[in-house]
Amino acid sequence: MTSATGPSAGPPRATKGTTGVDPAGPDPRGGSAAVPRGRGAVRYGPPAWLQALPFGAVFLFFFIAPLLLIGAVSFWPTSDYELIPGFTGQNYVSIFNGCANLAEPCVTLKTYWSTLRFSLMTWAVSLVLGFTIAYFLAFHVRSSGMQTVLFVICTIPFWTSNVIRMISWVPLLGRNGLVNQGLVGLGVVEQPVEWLLFSEFSVVLAFVHLYTMFMLVPIFNSMMRIDRALLEAADDCGASGWQTLWNVIVPLSRTGIVIGSIFVITIVMGDFVTVGVMGGQQIASVGKVIQVQTSYLQFPLAAANAVVLLAVVLMIIAALTRMVDLRKEL
């Protein structure tokens, strides 16, 4: 007679593995629910494609469709006060007419150079201001509450429209404005300075006033992500403040600098309201040219200029994004 404890006592019972975990998972009737795995896993909520559908619809109807429409209209023949569907490249030929003569740049090249010069000057000034303010908020203001208060103070100009903020410079920079009165009263100049208003100086000043915040916010976000232990390590190694700034903070803030640069340059390249108001309708820019052509109902020519401007801006963005992998950094 075989013993009950021998090998023939019956089929072996399912036991836990060597790790002490039941392969079948926890008893669903117990205290914790079983977590389904594999293809039979239960998904909660709508599928991913349905969640992305609203964003895809907005992106399609408000971005892709207008771009395709502008691209199609840019090839339509230009006529007086009439849109005639067709296909011609004459609009692009008209834009670059005379540009082959390098000795005398054409109007288009001069206009793009003027616009690019505004963008570079605005970018340089806003970068210095935005980086300095962001550095102060991130590393010298210890209290998060005070950081919030100071940030709100920086956003106060954005509580009004761009036009109101631009017009506010007129009584300050005009010939009889407060700045000229102060300079004449102090004896700095004998006559009021003419170039303070309706000049390139006033245009750049308005751009800096309007768009420095677009540079400040990304840089501040990048600085807040910097591990403070790196700064302490640099200090322990004997690095000076400038060495820490240049070798630690600036490289780690590169993502914010690139994002802020994209914001500022792309906005300034297409702006026409600021150039018109602060330039006294005397300074040319690409956005201003497109606005004038649209006002004269030259839609195909304006669309062609818009396509060229878009291509230039995309090349600038591509050059900036090569400095840092935004997908990896973000």
Give whichever of 16-30, 88-102, 206-220 has the largest mean pLDDT.
206-220
At 17 the pLDDT is: 44
Assigned domain for 111 exists? yes
**pTM (2 d.p.):** 0.79
Please give the residue that has the higher pLDDT: either 182 or 142: 182
| Domains of the chain: total | 1
Assigned domain for 202 exists? yes
The answer to whether 156 and 213 are in contact (CB under 8 A) is: no
Identify the CATH number of the domain in which residue 225 sits.
1.10.3720.10
Domain with 220 in it? 70-329
Please determine, for residue 1, whether its predicted confidence score (pLDDT) is greater than 50: no
Assigned domain for 6 exists? no
Cβ neighbours of residue 25 under 8 Å, at least 6 residues apart? 34, 35
- Label residue 310 by pLDDT band (50, 70, 90): very high
At 44 the pLDDT is: 67
Assigned domain for 296 exists? yes
The position carrying tokens 């308005």 is: 206
Please determine, for residue 4, whether its predicted confidence score (pLDDT) is greater than 80: no
At 125 the pLDDT is: 96
- Label residue 41 by pLDDT band (50, 70, 90): low
Please give the residue that has the higher pLDDT: either 248 or 36: 248
Q: Over the stretch 194-210, which tens digit does the pLDDT of each residue have?
A: 888 888 999 999 999 99
Please determine, for residue 287, whether its predicted confidence score (pLDDT) is greater than 70: yes
At 19 the pLDDT is: 46
Assigned domain for 12 exists? no
At 37 the pLDDT is: 53
Please give the residue that has the higher pLDDT: either 37 or 208: 208
At 155 the pLDDT is: 82
Assigned domain for 23 exists? no
Please determine, for residue 35, whether its predicted confidence score (pLDDT) is greater than 60: no
Q: Over the stretch 81-110, which tens digit does the pLDDT of each residue have?
A: 677 888 888 889 988 888 877 777 888 889
Q: Out of 114-123, 158-167, 308-317, pick the least confident.
A: 158-167
Q: Where are the alpha helices (DSSP H) in the chain?
A: 48-59, 65-73, 90-95, 107-139, 144-155, 162-167, 170-173, 178-186, 200-224, 228-236, 241-244, 250-252, 254-270, 273-278, 286-295, 299-321, 326-329
Assigned domain for 34 exists? no
- Label residue 10 by pLDDT band (50, 70, 90): very low
Q: Which long-range contacts (CB under 8 A, 24 or more apart) does 248-252 make?
A: 249/135, 249/139, 249/223, 252/222, 252/223, 252/225, 252/226
Assigned domain for 193 exists? yes
Please determine, for residue 134, whether its predicted confidence score (pLDDT) is greater than 90: yes
Q: What mean pLDDT value characterizes the chain?
A: 83
